Amino acid sequence: TLEGECSSNRAPHVSFAQLLGEGDILTYKLAERGYKVYKYVPYGRVSEAVPHIIRRIQESSIDRDYTSRTVKAILNELKARWIPSKIVERIKHD
């Protein structure tokens, strides 16, 4: 676990990298706990970058539960920031 042997205090050399636009909730949690977190953007020839992006999309679509949790977390954040509940409820049903 993050709180165990690999805590940021015990393992300052540990860092994480994620594709830009993916896993932002995890990014924020890791950063809150003091870990170094990097976001990366595929760069290079189209013939090299596109297959990588397609693989990432396929991997991401496999975990629909993660996507559902991400949407719920975003909606909770909207509620916490006092967005009118009618708007949040409308987003849930769309």
Question: What's the DSSP call for residue 49?
Answer: H
| Cβ 26 vs Cβ 47: under 8 Å | no
Residue 21 lies in a domain: yes
Report yes or no on 87 lying in a domain: no
Against a cut of 0.85, is the pTM above it? no
Residue 31 has pLDDT above 60, yes or no: yes
Band of pLDDT at residue 14, cut at 50, 70 and 90: confident
45-76 pLDDT tens trace: 888 888 887 887 777 766 667 777 777 887 77
Domain contains 18 = yes
Has residue 17 been placed in a domain? yes
Cα separation, 56 vs 29, in Å, equals: 22
User: Which DSSP state fits 22?
Assistant: S
In a domain, 13, yes or no: yes
- Which one-letter DSSP state was computed for residue 12? T
Q: Which range of residues forms the domain containing residue 38? A: 1-45
Give CA–CA dist 5/79, Å, rounded: 35
- Residue 32 falls inside a structural domain: yes
Residue 58 lies in a domain: no
Q: How many domains does the chain have?
A: 1
